[in-house]
Amino acid sequence: MSCRGPNPEFDDLSEVSQLVSSRLAAFLRTLRDAGFRVGLAEGQDAATLMAAGYAARPNLLRAAFRHLFSARKSDWDKFDGLFDAFWLGKRVRSRSRTIGSAAGANSPSLKTIQDARPQQGGGQSVTDQVPSSDEGPENSAGEGRMEGASHAEHLASIDFRKFSDPDQLAQAHDAAAQLARVMRTRLTRRYLARRRGERLDLRRTIHHNISHGGVPISLVKRRRKDRPLRLIVLLDASGSMSLYTSVFLRFIHGVLDEFHEAEAFLFHTRLAYVSDALKEKDVSRALDRLSIMAQGAGGGTRIGESLQTFNRWHAARVIHSRSCVMIVSDGYETGDAVLLGREMAALSRRCRRIVWLNPMMAWAGYSPEARGLKAALPHVDLYAPANTLQSLRALEPYLAKL
């Protein structure tokens, strides 16, 4: 580079007045609180910028800082508001912080609403297009049903927050984590088996055999790179699912912990990205953060709209060709079933496999009559019952085969 800027040395800071540098430090703290990843190097560069005359005009400084401190679109979009609020004293709409205690807040957390237990007394035929219901081991399915029912009675009376009783939680979390581990090793083994299909790597072979005068004596082979499968879980947190939400939340927490690549979303009338909140190691803290994010949960479900949001804003980033999408929902769509069908089609074009786990299926005499479910099922690769950890374990062989 023909022209070098001044080095961000400490000496330069002396040019910036003491006051300004302390204000700058405070601004960096504000940014960190707002979720920006700002390190020491950025702070030094900011000081360099101010010393280089960028502080002369607010607009210039704002633009320069925006380039420096933003790392993603969400940062980029909210930066101006933060900057104006801090440096120019303009009011900015109060931003709810997701971290921290929600103690005292009477906000409706997940599962305060009593279960709206669906009475699907309709068809007696359990032999629908369900691929797994008849294949699954008879015993464990029965066990799961029992477990589910007893759990349900129990849970209906306690608040979701109370559910983070450490013992119960740790136990369930262990089970989920163990399952996630088993699922992952299965997947990995499958990739190992595939490695046998080897091909000759001509370029490296020649390279290797230059010492033999180019005669290919030792061969170099090429094998498929084994990459872990990515699991994306979309959990229905609506009222009709409220009995099972916490069971699956703990399962998801285990999944995020144990899988190399996993993402989680929660949906009810809208979609929330919850991976970050759930990646918190401390389970009760994670659930705390989650219940703040999941405000409004427990009401109706707009699966179609939620999927639309997912396809539009998250799918490109989250899904790649080795992704498996797991939707946990009872399929009671309060929105537009046609939209749901369309979005499911779009989703199935993008990812490798779609699994739909339906807790209600474990209920005796249940058949998928929900309109939404009927629209979605043609695009689902595995449709199976799951309402407890036991029933999830029973699914393991099928999940491993995906």
Nearer to other proteins, 70 or 112 (CB): 70
50-to-15, 67, 183, 379 alpha-carbon distances in Å: 9, 14, 53, 56
Residues of this chain that bind other proteins (CB under 8 A): 1-5, 8, 37, 39, 41-42, 45, 48-49, 52, 60, 63-64, 66-68, 70-73, 75-77, 203, 206-207, 210, 213-214, 316-318, 320
Nearer to other proteins, 70 or 269 (CB): 70
Provide the minimum distance between the beta carbon of 248 and other proteins in the complex, in angstroms, as a whole number.
24
Q: Are strands 221-222 and 230-236 parallel, antiparallel or unpaired?
A: unpaired
Provide the minimum distance between the beta carbon of 210 and other proteins in the complex, in angstroms, as a whole number.
6
Provide the minimum distance between the beta carbon of 48 and other proteins in the complex, in angstroms, as a whole number.
7
Reading the block at residue 8, the tokens are 């961000």
Strand 353-358: give its sheet, edge to edge: 271-273, 262-267, 230-236, 323-328, 353-358, 382-385
Q: What are residue 353's DSSP bridge partners?
A: 324
Angle between helices 58-69 and 73-83 (to 10 degrees): 150
Q: What CA–CA distance (Å, rounded) separates 134 from 382?
A: 13
Provide the minimum distance between the beta carbon of 72 and other proteins in the complex, in angstroms, as a whole number.
7
Provide the minimum distance between the beta carbon of 350 and other proteins in the complex, in angstroms, as a whole number.
11
Report CA 341 to chain centroid distance, whole Å: 22
Reading the block at residue 32, the tokens are 């960190």
Q: What CA–CA distance (Å, rounded) separates 51 from 12?
A: 7
The residues, any chain, with a CB within 8 Å of residue 262's CB and separated by 6 or more, are 230, 231, 232, 233, 255, 256, 275
Helix (H/G/I), strand (E/B), else coil: 86: helix
Nearer to other proteins, 157 or 321 (CB): 321
Nearer to other proteins, 206 or 338 (CB): 206
Nearer to other proteins, 64 or 116 (CB): 64
Nearer to other proteins, 283 or 315 (CB): 315
If phi > 0 it is left, if psi is from -120 to 50 it is alpha, else beta; for residue 383 that is beta
Nearer to other proteins, 6 or 378 (CB): 6
Nearer to other proteins, 68 or 354 (CB): 68
Provide the minimum distance between the beta carbon of 203 and other proteins in the complex, in angstroms, as a whole number.
7
Provide the minimum distance between the beta carbon of 390 and other proteins in the complex, in angstroms, as a whole number.
34
Answer for the pair 174, 389: CB distance below 8 angstroms, yes or no. Answer: no
Provide the minimum distance between the beta carbon of 44 and other proteins in the complex, in angstroms, as a whole number.
9
